[in-house]
Structure 1
Amino acid sequence: MGIRFPHISWNSIRLKLVVGLFVVTVPLLALLIYNHHYSINVVRNQVAISNKNLISLYMGEIDARLEVVEKNILGLATTNYDIQSMGMPNSEDEYQLAKYKVSLYLSNNILFNESIDAFFVFNHERQDLLDGFQSSIAYSERMQVEKNLVQHLNQLANSSEQASHNWYVKKIGNTYYILRTIKSGNLYIGAWVNAQTLLGPMNLINLGANGHALLVNSQGDPLVSANFLQDDQVDLSRGFQQYYLTGSKKNWLVVGKPSQVGKFSLVAIIPNEQILQNLPKITYLIEWISFASIALLPLSLLFLHRAVLVPIKRLISVMNKINKGHVNVRIENYGAPDEFIMVNQTFDKMISQIEELKINVYEEQLSKQKAELQHLQLQVNPHFFMNSLNILFNLAQVRNYELIQEMTLCLVNYFRFMFRSNLSFVTLQEELQHVINYIRIQEMRFPDQLTCRIDCPDFLKSLQIPPLLIQTFLENSIKHSVTLEEPLHLSVSLDLKETGLSPYVEVVIRDTGKGFSNDVLADIRSGNRVIDEKGEHIGIWNVKKRLLLLYGEEASISCYNGYPNGAVVEIKLPYEEEG
């Protein structure tokens, strides 16, 4: 079953009040909110452009320093005689002398290049590494870098992979380094720098108390420690063509600039509160007005709901219950405006008067229905009484005393049942026994011309049904269908069936006679009494009237002609278990 939404009329007071309130407040609120967000976007865009220019300036300075270092490395590889001697020495003495001179050159050259941490020269064949470090580099870091650098250069030498033509990122331990390597014969000449060293000048940029400047690789991974990135789900992998907001609450502004000489980028991460703290005071005023308007709207709706809509809803709820027949309900005393209190009191007084009138009318209807029901039941008796006397007269003429005795006993049982038929209900067992007794009387009237079969499950025999329900239709079939040419067969079947959640008892009565005429079927379906050349036939109309009085619309009777012939009557009764 789908969800059902309450129906609200477009002409209802509550809909008009709510819509009117929204029509007035929502456009104003939307304008304030739009203005607020527009101001924020303007300020954020200006901050992003300013920091983008600053980051581009610093990234250009870093690239310029790295280009100078790269030219120095290329000069070593192409013009330094001692480097060439180390690569292709004529003797061991020449190699050791060249190695000594190169070591002095690297140590002196590092003093004039503060932008990097070390120069190195590595002879792959001899597994000999020369390097010149800045004095600020710790010995433990130097040893770790030398060890990993030798492994890295050996991997390059033993693989078909070419050395990168740009500066690239290498992770050694938990620290990221930026390397530039040039191969010259058997030698690898290059330089490396700690990523943190390149960020030194960025300390001069004011990014706020929580702002950060980072170097990131091409995948967006930071090259320095930044735990807040994972904590706030900051994403640095979108590229840096434009600024964007990131984080779990979109509370970080990211601007960046890729390096022109290496596979890394310089990024500024600025907290949103740092950006917005410079907004004009009018923006804060608009923000507070927006929040006040948002808070005022539900408060207004709540006031409107309590003062007007709730009293109206209670009144409508009681009216709906009264419309369904529950005239004993009243509007409870709740706090409400004086006008609604007066309406509620007047309404309750009016309903009390209506309830008294309805009770009086209902009692009169009950008395009338009871008298009418008893009258309808007794209408059957005279009709059958005349037929019974006629049967006894015929049996007396032929002096068949045995059949007269059986007939008399059947009539005694029949009229005993009829004398108690002023009851509204009898058990199905009693009704069927009466039917069997009645059929036996008719079999004695029409020997060898009448048969009857009754099928009923045992669990239904205790069911309460109106008396003479089945016998009326059997009597109707015998009256109109018994002939001397062909015997008549009657059948009665009862079964419990269920449609949806409402079980019912189905009674099907069939005969093999000529069936109903079209005019009779039309009268039955329209609810009229059947009148033909033989007079008025009240049997079917009688039963339909009784079922209507007893069950209302829960019971039904259908009449039609069977195939190939015969009349069929289907009766549906509501099923209720005992108790």
Structure 2
Amino acid sequence: MKDFKPNPRLHSLKRQLLIIFAGVAIPALLAALFLLYSASEEGYSRLAQAMQSNLELFTLTLSEQMESAESYMLNLSLNDPAFRRLADRSNQTQAYLDLYQVKQALPAVLLYNDALAGMILCSLPNNLYVGEYGALYGSAEQQLCQKLALESHFMQLTLLQTLNTTDWYQETIGGRVYLLRSVAYHNVHISTAIDLCQVFEDTIQNYGMDGTILVYGSQEELLVGDPACNWRDQIRWSNPRSGRLQVQGTSMMAARAWLQELEIISLQPYDPKGLLAGKLEVFTILATVLVLLSIPFLLFYMNGVVFRPMNILVDTMKRIGEGDLKARPSGTYRNAEFVQVNETFNQMIDQITRLKIDSYERQLEAERSEMAALKFQIRPHFILNCLKNVYALAETGSVEDIQELVLLLGRYLRYILSYKQDTISLQEEVEQCRNYAQLSSIGQPEPVGFFQDIDPALLEMRLPSVSLLTLMENCIKHGRTADRALKIEITGRLLHTETGPVADLCVADNGAGFSAENLRQLNQEPAQGPGGHHVGLYNVIRRLRLQYGDQVAFAATNGREGGARFEVFLPMKREKSEIGAPASPDEAAGNREERE
């Protein structure tokens, strides 16, 4: 049977089901992962927006307080007569009264602007200065040191006439970083100070930012914050105001804002898993885990329900295609469709087996009938020749020869009239040929010479009975000549070819040989059927082909020294009747009843 070669353009059902499963599972899994990612990014965005809002609210409040303090100082310098009088030298009493009048309003300004550390008023012409302070950092001694440091700083700038009265600026005074603003009217000025460390370490907690605060100046120097936490360069900014970083395995979120020339960065640790704490996120995580866990179970289930039954059916079909008609699918099926397919398949194979046996039995019976008919065509020919010899001997009165002839003829008739077997061994066939040579020599002037040269490996091979005997009869009938005694030789050689061992059987005589026309007919045309010439040769070749198939070859030639040669080439394998079917109709019927 020709091997099945699958079409490369077609896919197996198993592969198609896996593709369909993957086509559904993979997009669903990707969608779940995308949803998780989107939920995580949404959680991050919400947290970053909250941090940014708190930081912007703080900077906006601080900016408003700075603007309020700046407006107050500008209004004071432009509209307050007492402040303006301090710009000129006056009597000591008036100067104290004006200084006191200005100072009276400062506590209210500091109370309203709680980010202000203090306000210092200085009148150079009257050599007066006074300060009003809010909540300062540290103990009473530390607060006193801050006050003295601030007043000394402004007095020194006033004396040196280097006081900056154009805008806010930062300055480090007494180890503390301050944001300063001064407004002057001639030789009198008022200044306000904001303690950045105090504001960002204490006040900012009121805005829900309890992480790390980093404040950088105009030169990108760190003004406020722990130097060990200076991670500004490690931040990956997703936009100008928010970003994230990874520090020693800790995920941190960053928010950024600007105030005057200050850059303010708020850092706060966060847990990425904590961003998925919502009901939708939890449901998505559980659904994704269930999908991933279900994949092996689904594949295992599909293997038991679909793939394994399919493999059993395919293997069974392959075995049947190789000639094993007894093969049947074996296995337990879990669905009705495969059970129905299995039962239908078994019924179909049983029916095919019965039809094949019936067909072969009919073919075998036809071949046996044809073989028997061919044998009956041969028998009258032999018998008539023998009766002619008996008649000739009777005319001569050779009683002893007649007795011997009858003995040999009885042995011969017993052989050709036997119905017990269709084939005979080569050794027995050659013995019958020797018997026939003796039979043909009785009553003749010169006995028929008989010789044999058979390879021992061929003695037990099976031949249709009377096959070589028919060839020998042709030699005796057509090979006799008047000038020499007839000699017949039967040879058998075992040849080794590429397709396997071949038996070369040859029957040759030393007679006149074949004519050119006979050689042409025998070698170039098929042997003629009954009713024509060469009936005996036709029967021999036809019976050999019924037994050995189309691999039988034959050749008719003339010997180098004269005489006819007829060679038959037979494959050395089991006869056709022994291959693929019972040896007899009775055995076939018995096997069929057993299967049924």
TM-score bracket for this pair, using the shorter chain length? 0.3 to 0.5
TM-score by length of structure 2 reads: 0.43
Larger Rg: 2
